[in-house]
Structure 1
Amino acid sequence: MIQTLLESGIFSEKRILKRNEYLNTAGSIDTQIYYIENGSMRIFIMDEDEERIIRIGYSGNIVVSLDSFLSEKPSEFYIQAIKTTEIRLASKKDFYQFIQSDDENMKFWTVILEDLVLQQIEREKDLLMNSPKERFERVLKRSPKLFQEIPNKYIANYLRMSPETLSRLKKS
């Protein structure tokens, strides 16, 4: 279905972000949705002086500052390129016109939202109940490409463990 989205023409604008460049920062309103053609990005929030990565995206993924996209209010999230990243952009207006134009497109959007909710529930349970080893194994099973695309320091932050712990788990 992502291919259908790309073929629809709504992702007409392209942009290249340099390594560490911000797509958007906390306090900004962002009603765009982004498709990562190549590269990788992280979505994080600041907890006092510490970054907390909540999502990582790489080639073939869609990323969005969902709180701001849905509410059209300022987001608390930062979206930053991990390495040089080429993205395509679609406006909320164009995206909604697309999903409302056909029942299949609306079903696709519903599936995306349901999947995000289920992923978030799984992640919350993981962080509250599972050991670092269990969190590592779950993510490795679900997203093996993550370990090929993303530096360990970001994966460790996402999994709420030290880079050293992640390194030990990868070796075992």
Structure 2
Amino acid sequence: MIQELLNSGLHWEKKEFKRNEFLKISGSTDTDIYFVENGSVRIFMMDENEERIIRFGYTGNIIVSLDSFLSGKPSCFYIQAIKKTSVRIASKRDFYEFIHSSDENLKFWNSILEDLVLQQLEREKDLLTSLPRERFERVLKRSPKLFQEIPNKYIANYLRMSPETLSRLKKS
């Protein structure tokens, strides 16, 4: 269905981001939706002086600062390229015109939102799980591709553990 979205006639602007370049910064309103053609990104916020990664996106994923995209208000989240990343960007206005143009498109958007809610619930369960091994195993089972696409230091942050603990868990 994502391929249909890309070929739907919806205007997608192609853009490349260098490693560490920001697609979106904290305090800005996200009025775009992104399809990652190649590469990887992280969505994070700052907690005092510490980064807190909440999500990753890599080849084939649709990503967005959802709080801002839905509310039209500024978000505390950053979206940053982890490595050289190519994305297709559609404006919220164009995207909403597309999803409201047919029942099938609206169902597709609802399925994306439902999937995001379920992913977020899984993420919350991960954070409530106290043992690092359990968090690691849950994420490995759910998203094995993550460990091929994303550097360990970012995965460790996402899992709320040290890179050394992650390394030990991966070896065992």
Instruction: Give the structure-2-normalised TM-score.
Output: 0.97
Quote how far apart the aligned CAs of 1:11 are: 4.6
SS at match of 1:56: strand
- Equivalent residue, structure 2, for 1:107: 107
- Map of 2:73 onto structure 1: 73
Q: Which moved more, 1:105-114 or 1:7-16?
A: 7-16
Q: In structure 2, the residue corresponding to 1:122 is in which secondary structure?
A: helix
Distance across 2 between alignment mates of 1:9 and 1:74: 29
- Whether the 8 Å contact between 1:41 and 1:58 is mirrored in structure 2 is yes
Provide the identity percentage: 77
Per the TM alignment, residue 129 of structure 1 is displaced from its structure 2 partner at its CA by: 2.6
- SS of aligned partner of 1:4: helix
After the TM superposition, which parts of structure 1 deviate over 4 Å for at least 4 consecutive aligned residues?
Answer: none
Q: How many residues align?
A: 172
- Tell whether the 8 Å contact from 1:31 to 1:91 is kept in structure 2 after alignment: yes
Q: How far apart, in 1, do the equivalents of 2:147 and 2:115 lie?
A: 21
* Structure 2 unmatched ranges of 5 or more: none
Q: Normalising by the residue count of structure 1, what TM-score does the alignment of the two structures yield?
A: 0.97
* C-alpha separation in 2, matches of 1:126 and 1:41: 20
Quote the residue 2:96 is aligned against.
Answer: 96
Residue type at the aligned position of 1:78: Y
Aligned 8 A contact 2:13 2:90 in 1: yes
Matched, 1:118 2:118: yes
In structure 2, the CA distance between the partners of 1:39 and 1:123, relative to structure 1 (3 Å rule), is: same
Structure 1: segments with no counterpart, 5+ residues: none
Separation in structure 2 between the aligned mates of residue 137 and residue 43 of structure 1, nearest angstrom: 22
Deviations 1:24-75 (A, max 9, x none): 1111111100000000000001000000000001000011011111111111
- Measured on the aligned residues, the alpha-carbon RMSD in Å equals 1.0
Deviates more, 1:8-17 or 1:85-94: 8-17
What corresponds to 1:61 in structure 2?
A: 61
Report the Cα distance in structure 2 between the residues aligned to 1:130 and 1:93, rounded to whole angstroms.
42
Deviation at 1:10, TM superposition (A): 2.0
